[in-house]
Structure 1
Amino acid sequence: MILVASELVNNALRRGGTYVLRLSAHPGTIEVAVEDPSPQIPRPCASPDVVGGSGGFGWNMVNDLSLTTVVTPTPECGKTVRVFLPR
């Protein structure tokens, strides 16, 4: 969970500058939600940058570790990324 939360927060900081992190426990899952002001939707990177250090591994890793990922727009034109992990 810490790795997924860290990746989502790092992406929010890089793209939106500010963020809100929410963690919730459900009967079978842990929900990690990160809201940021950027309307840019996360997308998988076909060829991560292993030389220049600009990344590209995070979103793929988040999806691989999650049961479900959901991206929803916010009324303020940003987005919330919700990830559900096994508990």
Structure 2
Amino acid sequence: MTGPLEAGLRSVDARQIVREALAGRGVGQRALDDVLTVVAELVTNAFRHAGGVTGFRVRPLPDAVAIEVSDASSVLPRSPGTPVSAPGGFGWLLVTKLARRTEIRSGRDGKTITAYLPLAAPAT
């Protein structure tokens, strides 16, 4: 999927879009599970903390996939290391652990979080 999708996208729909975008690419189950976990966290957080998804894009790359989720809030995710006594914050920690890297672009209309996840097993 190369273009942004409509607002109101649900986590289950986003995960299906990712499955279809990665079908036939030889993605292992563990890598796929990691990607789907990140998609679910980013989409759920957009609803929980920012009023919903305003854009969603899947960009397959040669050895990775970029997942972009936009919302209308300029509030940044809580950084990893949030105290355990504070509610929430664990989803973003999970995203940053599973993704090779994350980028956040913030502007007047909200923010876009892009998570880059590897699709091939790391060389040992």
The two structures have a TM-score, normalised by structure 1, of 0.84
CA RMSD for the aligned pairs?
A: 1.7
Equivalence for 1:86: 118
Question: Out of 5, 9, 26, which is 2:61 matched to?
Answer: 26
Q: Distance in 2 between matches of 1:3 and 1:49?
A: 24
| Aligned 1:8-87 pairs, distance under 5 A | 8-19=42-53, 20-44=55-79, 45-48=81-84, 54-76=87-109, 78-87=110-119
Amino acid of the structure 1 residue aligned with 2:82: A
Counting matched residue pairs gives 83
User: Which of the pair has the greater relative contact order for Cα pairs under 8 Å at 6+ separation?
Assistant: 1
Structure with greater strand share of residues: 1
The two structures have a TM-score, normalised by structure 2, of 0.61
Offset at 1:12? 0.5
Offset at 1:2? 0.6
Q: Distance in 2 between matches of 1:31 and 1:49?
A: 32
Q: Distance in 2 between matches of 1:37 and 1:11?
A: 12
Higher-Rg structure is: 2
